[in-house]
Structure 1
Amino acid sequence: MGYYIVINLPVFNNEVPDLRELVGWGRRDDDYPILLERCNFWAGVRDEHEKLIAFGYVCGMGLEHGYLEDIIVHPEYQGQGIGVKLVTELLLESKRFGLSMVTVTFEENKTQFYNRCGFITGSGGVWQTNI
């Protein structure tokens, strides 16, 4: 079945936390809808029953550089190319938005996925609080 990526897809406050939980991430319920108000844009995919099955967003200051975040595909739909299509559409929207560079941080086992999406792997670092 063909799934469609929709930029700024209307989502209910619980949908993204539910999806995050399904992939083993913290729900972060308090982030929604604030995250949608503060990011540059987001994209989502619904299945034939209107269930949210994929989500991701780009945030930043809206100038030259954006940051790709939280690329999530429901476990039952992984391996069908939805994630690559989602990232590709977010990168196209980044270009339309005027961003000339998008970065992403990911776990090492996701390197091939992001390479397929056009990212060049480099070195970097992440700082995180313990709260």
Structure 2
Amino acid sequence: MMREILINLPIESHEVPNLRELVGWDGRHSDYPTLFERCNFWAGLRVEKNNELIAFGYVAGMGLQHGYMEDIIVHPQYQKKGIGQSLVKKLLQESERVGLEIVTLTYDSKHASFYNESGFKPCSGGLWRKKD
């Protein structure tokens, strides 16, 4: 059984990197706990049986009009059950509660329908990346 998705759920520094690695991403262990200090807010979900973190996402920005949503992650064993959309919905509700008027994100095109169903509209933009 799962618990409720919570805003600013207490999370240990190793938990998000571990979850990132479970979905095939770089763990980025050095980002934590700094991320929790710098982002506007985050949301997470744990399973009741062992208190394992199975979903995570956050919104960063200046806390003014605009925020950026990032790292929507759901443990592979719990994907395709509506948890990701519930996580995004919770983050958007919190965005609205704190006064954000615009939330943007970037995503792989294979996830376009997920984000469209979650209320995001495709738009143009740009991406800069540091050269290796």
Match of 1:93 in 2: 94
CA contact (8 A) 2:5 2:87 kept: yes
Structure 1: state its 5+ residue gaps: none
Q: Is the 8 A contact 1:56 1:69 kept in 2?
A: yes
Q: What is the aligned partner in structure 2 of residue 15 from structure 1?
A: 15
The 5 A counterparts of 1:114-129 are: 114-129=115-130
Matches within 5 A, 1:30-109: 30-48=30-48, 49-109=50-110
CA distance in 2, matches of 1:21, 1:87: 20
5+ residue gaps, structure 2, are: none
Contact 2:55 2:84 in 1 (8 A): yes
Supply the distance in 1 between the matched residues of 2:79 and 2:122 (Cα, whole angstroms): 22
Q: RMSD between aligned alpha carbons?
A: 1.0
Matched to 1:38, the amino acid is R
- Between the aligned partners of 1:36 and 1:54, the Cα distance in structure 2 is 15
- 1:6-36, CA deviations, whole angstroms, 9 ceiling, x for partnerless residues? 0000000000000000111111101000000
Q: TM-score, normalised on structure 2?
A: 0.96
Q: Which residue of 2 aligns with 1:24?
A: 24
2:12 aligned counterpart, secondary structure: coil
**Cα deviation digits, residues 53-111 of structure 1 (max 9, x gap):** 00000000000000000000000000000000000000000001110000010000000
Identity of aligned residues (%): 60
Q: Which runs of 4+ in 1 moved over 6 A?
A: none
1:56–1:72 CA contact under 8 A, matched in 2: yes
